[in-house]
Amino acid sequence: MPKVWDWDLAGQALPLLLQGFLVTLAATVVASVVAIILGLVLAMLRRTRFAAVRAPVRAFVEFVRSTPVMVQLFAVYVVFPGLSPFTIGVTVLGIHYATYMSEVYRAGIDGVPKGQWEAATALSLPRGRTWRAVILPQAVRNVLPALGNYVISMFKDTPFLAVITVHEMVFQATTFGGDHFKYLEVFTMAAAIFLIASYPTSLLVRRLEKRLGH
C-alpha cells in the first residue's frame, strides 16, 4: 500500500511554512492598521456636510467593495511595478477592508444616542472635541467585535497575496509542493497553522463581544 503521508517531507516543509507564516502575520498586522485608521476616516468623510466630498467617497467605497480583492491586487501590481509586492499587498488589502470597516464605524456612530450630540451642543463643545471626547469613544467601543472579525477575515485572505509573489505561507506551500510534486503535507500543515492562529483569536473576539454586551 503506498504511503499517503510523508513525515520526512512534512519536516522539510515546516520551516518554510513558519517563515511564510511570519510574512502572513506581518501583512495582517500592517493591513489591519491601514484598514482601521482609513476606515474611520472614510466613515467621517461620509458624514461631512459637503456633498462634493461625500459623493466621491461613497463612490470609492462602493467601487472597492464591489470588485474582488484579487483583481485589485493584480491591477495595482501591474500599474505600479516599482513598488514591492509586500507594500502593494498590505496597501490594497488594507484599503479593501477599510471600505467594509467604514460601514461598521458608520453604524457605530449612528448608534450613539442623539442626546449625546445635544448635550455636547448645549455645553458648547467644539466639533473636534465632540468627536474625540464624546462620540468616537462610544462608537468605537460598540464596534470593536465587528472590527475584530474583519481582522480575522483579513488574516484568512492573505493567501491572495501569493498572486503578486508575496512569500506568505500559501505561496511557500505552493512552491514547495511544486518542487516535490506533493501538496498534501504542505497544504494540510498550512491549514492547521491558519486554524491554530485564527481560532483562539475568534474566541477572544467572541468573549469581547459578550463583555461589551453587558
Domain ranges of the chain: 7-213
Q: How far apart are the C-alpha atoms of 101 and 95, rounded to whole Å?
A: 10
Residue 210 has pLDDT above 90, yes or no: no
Residue 167 has pLDDT above 70, yes or no: yes
Check residue 209 and give its pLDDT: 76
Residue 1 pLDDT grade (very low, low, confident, very high; cuts 50, 70, 90):
very low
Residue 3 has pLDDT above 80, yes or no: no
Check residue 6 and give its pLDDT: 92
Nearest to 116 by CA among 141, 134, 139: 134
Give percent above pLDDT 70 in the chain.
97
Instruction: Please say whether the dihedral angle defined by the alpha carbons of residues 23, 29, 32 and 33, taken in this order, is positive or negative.
Output: negative
Alpha-carbon separation of residue 75 from 36, 85, 89, 169 (angstroms): 23, 12, 11, 22
Q: How far apart are the C-alpha atoms of 123 and 117, rounded to whole Å?
A: 10
pLDDT digits (tens, 9 = 90+) for 6-42: 999 999 999 999 999 999 999 999 999 999 999 999 9
Instruction: Please say whether the dihedral angle defined by the alpha carbons of residues 34, 39, 44 and 46, taken in this order, is positive or negative.
Output: positive
Give percent above pLDDT 90 in the chain.
68
Check residue 65 and give its pLDDT: 95
Residue 2 pLDDT grade (very low, low, confident, very high; cuts 50, 70, 90):
low
Give the largest Cα separation in the chain, rounded: 81
Q: Give backbone dihedrals phi and psi of 84, rounded to 5 degrees, phi first.
A: -70, 150
E strand or H helix at 93, and its extent? helix 85-110
pLDDT digits (tens, 9 = 90+) for 89-147: 999 999 999 999 999 999 888 888 888 777 877 777 787 788 777 888 888 888 988 99
CB atoms near residue 210 (< 10 Å): 10
- The CATH code of the domain at 7-213 is 1.10.3720.10
Alpha-carbon separation of residue 79 from 23, 31, 45, 73, 75 (angstroms): 23, 20, 27, 10, 6
47 vs 183, residue with greater confidence:
183
Q: How far apart are the C-alpha atoms of 61 and 39, rounded to whole Å?
A: 10
Q: What are the b/e assignments for 161-172, b being 16+ CB within 10 Å?
A: bbbbebbbbbbb
Taking the CA of residue 112 as centre, how many other CA atoms within 13 Å lie in the half-sphere pointing to its CB?
Answer: 23
Q: How far apart are the C-alpha atoms of 88 and 158, rounded to whole Å?
A: 12
Check residue 177 and give its pLDDT: 94
